Structure 1
Amino acid sequence: MADDSLLLTQQPIPQLIRKIATPASVGFFFQTMFNITDTYFAGLISTNAVAALSLSFPVFFIVISLSSGLQTGATALIATAIGSRDMKDARELARQAVIFGGLVAFLVSVIGYFASPFFFGLLGASGEYLEDCLLYMQPIFIGAVFFVLNGIFNAALNATGDTKTFRNVLIVGSLANVGLDPWFIYGGFGIPAMGITGIALSTVLTQAVQMIYLAYRAKQTGLLQDFLTPRGYTPHPATLTRIFKQGFPASMNMVTVGLGIFIITYFISIFGKEAVAGYGVATRVEQIILMPTIGLNVAVLSLTAQNHGAGLDERIRETLHKVLVYGAWLMVGGVIIIYTLAEQLIALFTPDPAVVAAGSQYLHVAALTLYSYVVLYSHTSCMQGLKCPMFAVWIGLFRQIIAPALVFWTCTSVLGLGLNSIWWGIFAVTWVAALYAFWYCRKILRNLPTEKICIK
C-alpha cells in the first residue's frame, strides 16, 4: 500500500497546485538564472563567446531534452503506480529508470562529443567561432551523465509531489555558479584560466554535486530503497520497455524542441551572428517570465498521473481549469515587463547595439506569444499524465520542425522578408499548436473514464 504522505489524491486541487508549482517555479527561476549568469560572463569575454553559447544551445538542449523526457515519462509511471497504491511497482519503476538513464547518458556522451563539430558546422560555425563552441560543449557532453540522472532522481521526487528538494539544489547551484564562473574563466587559487571552457566546467561540477544530493533524497522516499543491492542493479527488460514507451516519446518531444531551436537558429544565422546572439539573450529573458508556467506543468503532470491512477478523473479536469486561470494572471505581468522593458533587459547582457536591436525586436513579439505556452504545455502535460506521450511528439513535430521550416523558408527565401518575419512566424505557429492541444485534450477528458488510454 502507498504511504498516504505520498498521495496527491486527497487534498484540494488549488492547495496541491500551489504546493507543487511554487517550489518548482522558484527552482526553475534559479536554473534560468544559472544560464543567465553563464551568458553574462560570456559577454565579458566577447560577443563571439555570447554567440558561441547561443549557437551551442540547440545542441546542448538535446542533452537536456533526453533528461527532461525521461524524467517526464518516469514521473508519469511512478505517480500512476503510487495513485493505484502499488508501491512495489513504483519502486521497480524508479530503480529501472536509473539504469535506463545511465545507459542513455553514456550514448549521449559518446555521440555528442564526436559529432558536435558536424552539428556546429551545419549552423555555419567555423574558425574561432567553431572552436569556442567546441570548447564549451565538449565538457558538457563528457558530463552528460549528471544531467540525465538528475532528471531521473527528480522524477521520483516529483511523483510524490516533492518539488522543494529540486528547488533547493537549483538555488544553491545557481548561487555557486556566480562564484565558479569567474573563478574558472579567469583562474586563481590553483585553477588555470580556462575562458569559455571554464563556464562549461562550472556547469558540470554543479550538476555532479546536485546529482549526489538528489540521489540521497530520492532514496529517502523509499522508492530507491533497494537500489544499492544486487537486485537494484539488475536490468528488467519488461520494466525498461515500459519506461521506454512512456519516456522515449517524451524525450523525442523535447528533442523536437531542440531541433526546432536548431531550425530557428539556422534561419536567424542568415542575418548574422549578432542576430543569433540577440535571440540567445532574449530567450534567456523569456525563460524567466515563463518560469511559473513550468511549475504549473509539473503540477499538472503529477496530479493527472496520480489521480488518473486512482480513478479520480474529475480532479484532472479541475486541475487544468485552475492552471489556465493561474497562468493567465501570471502572464499579464510578464507581457507588461518584456514589452515595455525589452531594450533595457537585452542591454543588461551586451552593449552591442545590433544584438540589443535583434533581441528587443524578438521580445516585443514574444510578449504576445506568452500565454500560448501556458495553454500548450499544460494540456501536453495532462496527456503525458494520462500515459499518452505520443501526442506531445506529433504536436512537437508540427510546432518545432514542419511548420517553422515551411514558414521561415517562405518568409526569408520566397518573400524576402526580414528578421522580424521569423519572430511573427514563431507567434503564429505556437498559437496554432496551443489551440489544437486545447481542443484535443478536452476531447479526451470529456470521454474519461471510458476513453482508451494510450499506454497500459
Structure 2
Amino acid sequence: MEQFQLTTQSIPKLVKQISIPASIGYFFQTMYNVVDTYFGGTISTQALASLSLSLPVFFIIIAMGTGISTGTTALIGNALGSSRGREARLFGLQGITFGLLVSIGLTFTGIYISPWLFSLLGASGEYLSMAKTYMDTIFYGTLPFLLLYMLNAILNALGETKPYRNFLIIGFLLNIATLTLVAQNNGAGLIDRVKGSVRTALRYGTFIMALGTVGVFSLAGPLMRVFSHEQDVIGIGVTYLRIDALVLYAYVILFVNVAAMQGIKNPMFAVWIGICRQVIAPVVLFWILTRVLDFGLLGIWWGIFSITWSAALFSVFYVRAKFQEAVGSFPLGIG
C-alpha cells in the first residue's frame, strides 16, 4: 500500500513526490490572496490597506486549520507507520469532527470580535468598515475552509498531496513532506530515515530559496508596481521585499525543524516558538527599534529579519538536542 512505501522508498524521491504537488497547491492558494490584493489596489490605496490589515485576522483561521491538520497528519502518519490502521482511521474521524466544531465556534466568535481586533490594530471609519466587510465574508466560509484542511491532513499522512494541488488549481511544501515522512518513519522506528528526511528537505530548500531570494530581491520594483502606482507605497514595499528576501531560507530552516518535531508527536515546540516569534519578540524588539533607536519602518523590517533568523537558528539547536536526547547523535546538516 502507498503509506508503507513512505518507509521504504528513496527519501529524495519521496520528498519531491510529496513536496512538489503540495508546493503547487499552496502557490495557487497564495494566488487567491494575490488576486484580492491586485484588484484592491485598482480600487484605492485605502482598499489595499484594508486588505493588508485583514491579514493578521485571517491568519487566525489559517493558524487553527494548520494546527489541527498538522496534529492530525502527525498522529495518522505515526499510526500508519506502525501498522495501526484502525487507530489511523479513528484519528482521521476525530480530526474532521474537531475541525467542524472549531469552525462553527470560530465563525461566530470571529464575526463578533473582528471590529474590536481591527480597532486594536488602528482602524477606524471607512477603513474599519472595509476591513470588516472583507473578513466577515471570510469568516462565513470558515467551515468549508477548515473541512478542506482536515481532509487534506488525512491525504498528507498517506503522502497524497496531488488532490489538494488539483483542487486549488481548479477552484506550503517542504514542511508537509518532512512531516509526512518523519511521522511514518518515526512510527515505524526507522530513525535513520527520520534524519534523512530532515536533511533532504533542508538541502532542497537551500536550492529553491536561493532562487527565490535572487528573484524577489531583483524584481522587488516590478512586483510592487503590479499592485500600486503610488511612488511612496512602491518605495516602502521595495525596501521591505529586499530585506525579506534575505529571510526566505530562515523560513525553510524553521518550518522543516518545526515539522520534524510535529512528526515525532512533539507539537508544543511550534506553539512556543510561534508565541515568541510572533508576539513576545516583536513587541520588545519593534519598540526598541522604532521608539528608542528611532529607525521607523526600517526598524520593523530589520526586526522581522532578526527575529526570524534567531528563531530558525534556535530551532536547529533545539531539534538537534531533542533528537540526541531521544535517539543519540543527530547530525542536522544541510548537505
- What TM-score do the two structures reach when normalised by structure 1? 0.71
Equivalence map 1:26-65=2 (5 Å): 26-65=24-63
Tell me the distance in 1 between the aligned counterparts of 2:195 and 2:221.
Answer: 40
- Point out where structure 2 has 5 or more consecutive residues left out of the alignment: 330-335
Aligned equivalents of 1:302, 1:441: Cα separation in 2: 17
Counterpart secondary structure, 1:348 = helix
Name the residue aligned to 1:6: 3
Distance 2:240 2:222 in 1: 13
Moved more, 440-449 or 152-161: 440-449
| Residue from 445, 450, 455 that aligns with 2:323 | 445
- Give the whole-Å Cα distance in 2 for the aligned partners of 1:140 and 1:368: 31
Distance change (3 Å), C-alpha of 1:448 and 1:23: same
Alignment of 1:252-291 (within 5 A): none
Match of 2:215 in 1: 337
**Shift of residue 360 of structure 1?**
0.6
What amino acid sits opposite 1:430 in the alignment? T
Aligned residue in 2 for 1:111: 109
Distance 1:407 1:355 in 2: 24
* Amino acid paired to 1:397: I
Which residue of structure 2 lines up, in the alignment, with residue 392 of structure 1? 270
Q: Give the superposition deviation at 1:322.
A: 1.2
Instruction: Give yes or no for contact 1:313–1:448 (8 Å, CA) kept in 2.
Output: no
Q: Distance in 2 between matches of 1:72 and 1:417?
A: 38
**1:300 touches 1:378 (CA, 8 Å); kept in 2?**
yes
Identity %, equivalent residues: 48
Say yes or no: does 1:138 pair with 2:16: no
Structure 2 distance, partners of 1:398, 1:95, is 32
Give me the whole-angstrom Cα distance separating, in 2, the residues matched to 1:59 and 1:140: 10
Q: Give per-residue Cα distances to partners, 1:337-390, cap 9 Å, x unaligned.
A: 111111111111111111111111101111211111111110010000010011
Q: Can you list the C-alpha shifts for 1:152-179, whole angstroms capped at 9, x where unaligned?
A: 0100100000000000011112xxxxxx
Query: Does 1:323 pair with 2:201?
Result: yes
Q: Following the alignment from structure 1 to structure 2, what is the Cα–Cα distance between the partners of residues 400 and 93?
A: 30
- The Cα shift of 1:113 comes to 0.5
Match of 1:101 in 2: 99
Distance in 2 of aligned mates of 1:93 and 1:297: 21
Cα distance in 2, alignment partners of residues 27 and 324 from structure 1: 20
Task: Specify the alignment match of 2:296 in structure 1.
Answer: 418
How many equivalent residue pairs? 328
CA distance in 2, matches of 1:171, 1:424: 35
Residue deviations 1:76-133 (CA, integer Å, cap 9, x gap):
0011111111110011111111110111001101110111110011111111111101
Coordinate RMSD, CA, aligned: 1.2
Q: Which residue of 1 aligns with 2:13?
A: 15
- The residue number in structure 2 matching 1:248 is none
Is contact 1:339–1:364 with CA below 8 Å preserved after alignment? yes
Matches within 5 A, 1:44-443: 44-173=42-171, 294-443=172-321
- Aligned partners of 2:213, 2:132: CA distance in 1, in Å? 36
Q: Distance in 2 between matches of 1:61 and 1:443?
A: 30
Whole-angstrom distance in 2 between the partners of 1:363 and 1:142: 32
Deviations 1:269-324 (A, max 9, x none): xxxxxxxxxxxxxxxxxxxxxxxxx3110000000000000000110111111111
Question: TM-score, normalising length from structure 2?
Answer: 0.96
Q: Distance in 1 between matches of 2:185 and 2:68?
A: 21
| Aligned amino acid, residue 238 of structure 2 | S
List runs of 5+ in structure 1 lacking aligned partners. Answer: 174-293, 452-456
CA distance in 2, matches of 1:38, 1:99: 31
Query: By how many angstroms is 1:450 displaced?
Result: 7.2
